[in-house]
Chains A and B, each alone.
Chain A
């Protein structure tokens, strides 16, 4: 074994406790970690029917240890969103979700003042002899604050997992809204000051990679690329998620999907499409997938006509002559 210097944070009994500063007062607080080991994360996720590989489990584990958000990227339908949900479920935390879209702004992501209520209060107080300063203090207080997901996650007293879903959909400028939360777990509200986190939430951001996210955002996050699962993991996912499916059918489904993904396609089947297909086969009472059945149902796996044609051709006797390789394969 290569021995590093003895690590003060690593205790002999395998439980890890780290000293870390608490917010505000600068004193030290002892905190427990959520997870004991990478393997523990993997097992915990499996219990809630999420099948993680070493990479996924490892990054979730680190996110907790380093108190850093995780940026999850990867093709559509590979379980990015589900990961955050499942982590919440396994750790008994509440999931707070911010769904991103083009045009999302501060008032929907962070907080908003309740103008109507403020106006009413101002009107009501007009008669009495309160100074404006007093009224102002009053109306810019908690009572008039509409809390949106990011602020909600910061202020939560119970354990939460914050999911910022499809963050690549917001404009680059909007990304800036996230930075303070992601690095300092706090929100600054000009009228009220800085609100720090009650406890550090686990944060997941997902992206379909439709645009490059800013360096500033990436620097603050751990990065996890979730790809299509390998054969065994996909089979396990099918077995976990599709009721009443036989082991042998799940196996065939995973194998066929793997072979299809090797073709050069416009869009490869996602895990959700694999699951849809498996469910369909079960409904149809299929026990063994033959080429004809595969051809009839392949439109569940593939969305583009040209992809469907390619797959059907590949798996018929006609395709055998070609062997593997899509366009381009002959010209190099």
Chain B
């Protein structure tokens, strides 16, 4: 509170300016107009309506839905409930929660919090467990918030000034709550209480309901931890700690579980957009550039007047694509996304064939044929392909050798070969002559590397050795880069 007032001029506008700066630092493209719109918008919103306040800022500042998560995080940090009851050091006024909290910006949604929680007195673990069970069974939101507060207080073990991220505290809290166990208990009870035996469908619906309450509780716990961290470290430091790359910029090689999930969700709309764009391009670009010679040749029959302009063929016939992908450990995700994208636009190519390797190599084209579910096919690639030859460490040399032995006969001037991988060859022989021969026979050979360029040719990476024989080597660390490569391919 006091720190909001302390600033000069309008405290609200100062806070907002910091907030917008943080959005920009997080990578959101906020223009000046939008900045002004946001300032204008909040004038029309009663300050105590925190939800409306959030949507007003969202509508003026976030024009791309995939940025919403980043926005929400920053919003939570800047405009979260604040007050002495969030002091990590504990004692300071844990129980006089009421007024302080109500006094805070946006406290409107925080009412009723105290029901059942009984202020700050610690509960025994058994009491807490029982309250958790009751809260989830009834789906009582106020009670869940109270449980979240108690749980964080008791289990997170937060200490002032400790440089530990929120996930660490979240993990500690959740581990102690044993939510899986609680879910089992809830389900057992649901089965017992049902007048007739629950059908599988009914059981599934019950479980999904409980699961959604549990997710809600987790969000509440996260929020509680964040509020306390903000109280401890201050808004700006906290925002910086929480800053995350936008989905399109998430590094394939270092994506966390959560980010992976986000990427998997991002890929569907992305492929759809790409497909629509390419289809349009094909329709519009039907006419190629003017074919001068041909036009002149025809003009002879009009007495030299170029009456009938002739155009070159818009583009050479559709290429045939061969994808050769390393699917070992850290580059597996990259291979999956690339295969997904390439197959999603496979109608742009006359044919797509795919091969995956670690130290052995296997053709996986059949997995993709006759199925509309690319994700499923990619999944099968990971579980069913026979790619281990000796020890399951990448051996590009051997994999390429096998590829060339078996499939050289299928490579011709219509073929574009994409090789995917970090070219970390574990110091095996490179056999780079194969890539040279490939380029000789194929229309194009491209190498896509998911590592940052600055890592290339360091350690056991020998991408340069292969690269000299390719038509191009591209850095594809994230969806943004991958999408742009694939689009240019078609």
User: Do A and B interact?
Assistant: yes
Binding-face segment, A92-100, A159-167, A253-261, A274-282: A253-261
A327 at the interface (CB under 8 A from B): yes
A262 vs chain B, min Cβ distance (A)? 7
Interface contact B47-A262, CB-CB below 8 Å: no
Take A291-B199, A316-B200 as given contacts and tell me if A66 and B41 are in contact as well, using a CB distance cutoff of 8 Å: yes
Interface contact B55-A319, CB-CB below 8 Å: no
Residue of A58, A252, A304 near B52 (CB, 8 A) is A58
Residue of A55, A215, A258 near B58 (CB, 8 A) is A55
Total cross-chain contacts (CB, 8 A): 151
Residue of A66, A73, A218 near B40 (CB, 8 A) is A66
List chain B residues, Cβ under 8 A from A116: none
Size band of the A side of the interface?
35 or more
Q: Chain A 41-60, CB within 8 Å of chain B: the 1/0 string?
A: 00000000000001100110
Q: How far is the CA of A309 from the CA of B1 in the complex (A)?
A: 55
Interface contact A58-B51, CB-CB below 8 Å: yes
List chain A residues, Cβ under 8 A from B373: 266, 304, 306, 327
Interface contact B51-A320, CB-CB below 8 Å: no
Interface contact A331-B280, CB-CB below 8 Å: no
Interface contact B205-A58, CB-CB below 8 Å: no
A274 vs chain B, min Cβ distance (A)? 15
Binding-face segment, B61-69, B114-122, B311-319, B419-427: B61-69
List chain B residues, Cβ under 8 A from A221: 63
B222 at the interface (CB under 8 A from A): no
Interface contact B375-A58, CB-CB below 8 Å: no
Residue of A209, A218, A224, A315 near B201 (CB, 8 A) is A315
Q: Chain B 465-482, CB within 8 Å of chain A: the 1/0 string?
A: 000000000000000000
Q: How far is the CA of A211 from the CA of B272 in the complex (A)?
A: 9
List chain A residues, Cβ under 8 A from B12: 2, 4
Q: How far is the CA of A61 from the CA of B47 in the complex (A)?
A: 15
A305 at the interface (CB under 8 A from B): yes
Q: Chain A 153-176, CB within 8 Å of chain B: the 1/0 string?
A: 000000000000000000000000
Residue of B31, B55, B104, B205 near A59 (CB, 8 A) is B55
List chain B residues, Cβ under 8 A from A74: 65
List chain B residues, Cβ under 8 A from A15: none
Interface contact B264-A62, CB-CB below 8 Å: no
Take A66-B37, A212-B273, A219-B33 as given contacts and tell me if A259 and B63 are in contact as well, using a CB distance cutoff of 8 Å: no
Closest to B208 in A: A259
A54, A212, A259, A324: most-surrounded residue (chain B CB, <10 A):
A259
A81 vs chain B, min Cβ distance (A)? 18
Q: How far is the CA of A327 from the CA of B204 in the complex (A)?
A: 19
Q: Main SS of chain B's interface residues?
A: helix
B326 vs chain A, min Cβ distance (A)? 16
B48 at the interface (CB under 8 A from A): yes
Take A209-B269, A222-B59, A319-B204 as given contacts and tell me if A1 and B47 are in contact as well, using a CB distance cutoff of 8 Å: yes
Query: In residues 69-86 of chain B, which contact A (Cβ within 8 Å)?
Result: none
A21 at the interface (CB under 8 A from B): no
List chain B residues, Cβ under 8 A from A225: 65, 68
Q: How far is the CA of A221 from the CA of B204 in the complex (A)?
A: 42
Query: In residues 117-151 of chain B, which contact A (Cβ within 8 Å)?
Result: none
List chain A residues, Cβ under 8 A from B336: 328
Residue of A1, A59, A294 near B59 (CB, 8 A) is A59
Residue of A209, A259, A327, A331 near B205 (CB, 8 A) is A259
List chain B residues, Cβ under 8 A from A58: 45, 51-52, 55-56, 59
Interface contact A219-B34, CB-CB below 8 Å: yes
Interface contact B200-A320, CB-CB below 8 Å: yes
B350 at the interface (CB under 8 A from A): no
List chain B residues, Cβ under 8 A from A27: none
Residue of A70, A255, A291, A319 near B209 (CB, 8 A) is A255
Query: What are some 7 contacts across the A-B interface (CB < 8 A)?
Result: A10-B43, A58-B45, A61-B44, A66-B41, A219-B31, A219-B34, A306-B376
Sample of 20 more A-B contacts, CB < 8 Å, known A2-B1, A264-B264: A1-B103, A2-B47, A7-B43, A10-B43, A58-B51, A58-B52, A62-B56, A65-B44, A66-B40, A219-B63, A222-B37, A222-B60, A259-B208, A304-B372, A306-B371, A316-B200, A317-B200, A326-B376, A331-B332, A331-B379
